[in-house]
Every structure is written in C-alpha cells, then in structure tokens.
Amino acid sequence: MNQLTLQWAITFQWSETGNLRTQQISKQQVKSNNHNGLIIIGRDSNPKVCDLVLNNRSVSSQHVKIYFHEQHQKFFIQSLSPRNLSNIDGINLDIGKELPLQNNSSIVLGTQSLKVIDIQIYPLESTAYSGIVHSNTNSSQVGQSSNLHQVNSIPNLRQVSPSQNSGQAIPFSSIINPNQTNSSTNINRKKEHSWQDKTIIAAIVAATATILATGVTALVTYYTNQQTQETEEKKAELENNTEIQKSNIETLAKKQEKAEDRFYAHKAEILKLQRENKGNYYEQLIIKNNCDKIIKIAINYNALNDVEQTQGWLIIPSNDQTSIPHNITKFESIFLHAISNDNNYQWQGGSYREKYTPISGHFNYIADDITLFYPDKEQRELSKFYEVKYDKDNSITTKTFTCNGESLKLN
C-alpha cells in the first residue's frame, strides 16, 4: 500500500520599521538548507545561516531554532542565544528548554515581537510505490509472462503415461505417490487449484491496494481543498487586520507628532515668560517627610501660560524635605499624587484630578499627551491627584507627610 508522509508549512508575521511583514516557511524549503530540516531565526542575513531574518539589534545572529515533531505533529522552539531574551506566549525560553508552538503563538526575541499566524499540516502520498505485489516469499512475481507459462505447463505432466517414462525423468505425480499411478490426475488437479488460489489472492491484494490508494488520494484531495479554502479565508482576514493595524499606527504617529510639537512649543513659551517675569516670585511649596519610608510625589498644575502640566517623580527621603519651584504656577493651588516607595502607603485628599503616571521612570508632559513618551497603555496607569492649596498669608507654604498606621497623611 502507498505510504503517506506529512508535509507542513508555518507562517510568521512581524512589524519592521512600521510595516507588517509576513513569511511562510515550508518543509520543502528547509530540506536543502543544511540545517537538517530546522528553521533558524536570527539577525544574520546570509540565507545559508537564517531562514527568517529579523533586522533588530536586540536579536542574536542565530536566536532560536524551530523543528517539526513528526510523531506529535507539532512545532517546537528552542533558544540558541544564552544572552538575549526569548519569550514564548509569556513564558521565558531558557537555553536548553523547548516550548510548543501553535496558531497565534506570540514570540519575543530581544525587543522584537513576531506571531505565528498560520500552521498547515497535511499528508502527501509517497512516490515510492512500485506496483509489484508478492503472494509469498517463495512465489514468483504475479503478472509476468514467464509465470503464466509455468502455470499452464503443469497439465502437460499429467498427459505422460508410465510406459512413456522408461529411461526418462519420473513424472511429478509418481514422486508424490509411486504406488497409485491412476491418481496422478487428481493430484495434479489439486496442484493446479493451489496455483490458481495464490493467483487469486495476489490479484485481490493488488485490487485492494488500488482501491485503498484511490480512497487515500480522494481524502488527500478533499483535505487539500479544505486547507486551500481555509487559507484563502485566513488570507482575507489577515489583509483586513493588516489594514486596520496600519491605520492605527498612522493615527498614533500623527497624534505623537502633534503632541511633540505642542509640548516643545509650550516649553519655549515657559522659558520666555520666565525671562520676562524675572524677579517676580510666585507661591512656593515645601513638602516634608516625617515617615520612616521614602515618599515619591507627582504634581499636576497650571503652568505660567495656563497650560496644564504633569510632572514626576520627586523623591523625598525619610525625615527630609523638598521644595516645589516657586515659578511653576501663579495659581492658588496645585495637585499632588503621593505614595511610599513600598506602595503600602498612599495619600488620599479631597478634590482631585485623574491623570496618567507611568508604571516606572520619570515623566513630564502637558495635558493628556503622555502618549508622546508612553504610547503603550501597558506602560501607564490612571492616578488620582489631590488638591493642595497655598497659604494666603505666607509666600511659602509648608506641608508635612506623616505615616499613621497604614495611612499616609498630609498636614
């Protein structure tokens, strides 16, 4: 019977310089890549080194290898780079470790992300079938003219009488039973039936093989058609998603460009106003920390040209103090967000504004244009900024943080 071998193809998608790229790699492609059927992904642009090239400095020259496991019918990935990060579906891929890949698997190599968007596994009929069927190990090949001649020659032995055998070779029937020469016809008839039975068996085997091969071919054709239809649907879906992502990227780029122009124009105005108002001091705020923990604060205020600005983080060590620059604002209040460095203490005041703060790192932005510095939502969170009013009778206002139980208070 014809043997079936598994063929496969895997498709990757990634973003490069703002454009989405897609590459499919099949079993036929990697047969002659001198990698023993492995898929090598990395930064090396030599086609003999890498099957998929990622132009990103955080990616190693040969970062990971992917192979198809015939028995499990799955793809597995292993790291080739002990230094650079590899992460599969949120799991770190340590050196020597392997993880399975499937449709929609997310792969992160260094800072480069790519995704498995399609996996195809389908049987392909082997071309090694010879068309020769053997009845058993001692019989000759069925269908050859010499065998048919041998089968037809057996009845000629029955036609030789004992008297004609003098001085000649003994007939086959006499060897079987020399004492019953009259039974030679029955014996040879049985022999003839035996040969006919083997021929029938061989013919049945050949016919069965042909029927099964035809059935398998039909199944493969059906499966291939189904795969083709699914591939076309996935292709259409991919093209649609690509257009949506492209539009989103363009919209974000325009928003960031507009925010950047606005931010630096605002900075220029502030410097100009500071020069024009040199010597004209505004309200000043001093924040003290009487806790045994470090406190970090962020501030939100209306700047000199009435543009709302948010800034942080300002660090206040234990039993220390810091001052808010006197020329930040000419208004009667600012807004503070304060938290201890271990996140166990968070101050809550009265009226507040909700503004974005980054998960980590310092920041300085106007209005809600934090997307200029932190475009990904996962990098920022919405925080409450509580109002702190200046003392009307003093040019310098002093406020003190204390830790009482599990609360952070400002007096």
Question: Do 196 and 108 fall into the same domain?
Answer: no
| Residue 177 pLDDT | 46
Rounded (10°) angle between helices 184-276 and 145-158: 160
* Residue 246 belongs to some domain of the structure: yes
Q: Which of 276, 293, 311 is the last residue of a domain?
A: 276
Question: Do 272 and 288 fall into the same domain?
Answer: no
Q: How confident is the model at residue 74 (pLDDT cuts 50, 70, 90)?
A: very high
Question: Do 137 and 261 fall into the same domain?
Answer: yes
Question: Do 266 and 308 fall into the same domain?
Answer: no
pLDDT tens string 94-119: 888 899 999 999 999 988 999 999 99
Percent of the chain with pLDDT over 90: 29
* Residue 165 belongs to some domain of the structure: no
Tell which wins on pLDDT, 261 or 77: 77
The structure tokens listed for 392 are: 């009307």
CA distances from 47 to 22, 42, 61, 112, 402 (A): 17, 11, 12, 20, 64
Closest-CA residue to 296 (of 252, 367, 346): 346
| Average pLDDT of the residues in 158-184 | 43
Question: Do 272 and 135 fall into the same domain?
Answer: yes
- Half-sphere exposure of residue 59: CA atoms within 13 angstroms, side-chain side: 23
| Average pLDDT of the residues in 314-335 | 82
Question: Do 260 and 148 fall into the same domain?
Answer: yes
Which CATH number does the domain housing residue 291 bear?
2.60.40
pLDDT tens string 199-210: 677 777 777 777
Tokens 């939502």 correspond to 377
Q: Number of structural domains, the chain?
A: 3
Question: Do 270 and 134 fall into the same domain?
Answer: yes
Q: SS3 string of the chain? A: CCCEEEEEEEEEEEEECCEEEEEEEEHHHHCCCCCCCCEEEECCCCCCCCCEECCCCCCCCCCEEEEEECCCCEEEEEECCCCCCEEECCEECCCCCEEEECCCCEEEECCEEEEEEEEEEEEEECCCCCCCCCCCCCCCCCCCHHHHHHHHHHHHHHCCCHHHHCCCCCCHHHHHCCCCHHHHHHHHHHHHHHHHHHHHHHHHHHHHHHHHHHHHHHHHHHHHHHHHHHHHHHHHHHHHHHHHHHHHHHHHHHHHHHHHHHHHHHHHHHHHHHHHCCCCCCCEEEEEECCCCCEEEEEEEECCCCCEEEEEEEEECCCEEEEECCCCCCCCEEEEEEEECCCCCEECCCCEEEEEEECCCCEEEECCHHHHCCCCHHHEEEEEEEEEECCCCCCEEEEEEEEECCEEEEC
Question: Do 272 and 309 fall into the same domain?
Answer: no
Cα(88)–Cα(98) distance, integer angstroms: 10
Full domain range(s) for residue 55: 4-127
pLDDT tens string 117-126: 999 998 865 4
CA distances from 241 to 16, 20, 146 (A): 16, 10, 67
| Residue 199 pLDDT | 67
Question: Do 83 and 136 fall into the same domain?
Answer: no
The structure tokens listed for 241 are: 């998603």
Quick check: 135 pLDDT over 90?
no
* Residue 344 belongs to some domain of the structure: yes
Q: Which of 251, 276, 301 is the last residue of a domain?
A: 276
For the chain, the average pLDDT equals 77
Q: Which amino acid is at 18?
A: G
Quick check: 387 pLDDT over 50?
yes
Conformation bin of residue 54: beta by default, left when phi > 0, alpha when psi is -120 to 50: beta
Cα(200)–Cα(133) distance, integer angstroms: 12
Question: Do 149 and 266 fall into the same domain?
Answer: yes
Question: Do 289 and 313 fall into the same domain?
Answer: yes
Which CATH number does the domain housing residue 106 bear?
2.60.200.20
User: For residues 25 and 119, is the Cβ–Cβ distance under 8 A?
Assistant: no
* Residue 164 belongs to some domain of the structure: no
Q: Please work out, in degrees rounded to the nearest 5, the angle formed at the alpha carbon of residue 386 by the alpha carbons of 322 and 274.
A: 55
pLDDT tens string 224-248: 777 788 888 888 888 888 888 888 7
Quick check: 88 pLDDT over 50?
yes
Question: Do 10 and 113 fall into the same domain?
Answer: yes
Quick check: 159 pLDDT over 80?
no
| Residue 405 pLDDT | 74
* Residue 14 belongs to some domain of the structure: yes
Tokens 């016919």 correspond to 207
Q: Which of 250, 276, 302 is the last residue of a domain?
A: 276
| Average pLDDT of the residues in 377-397 | 86
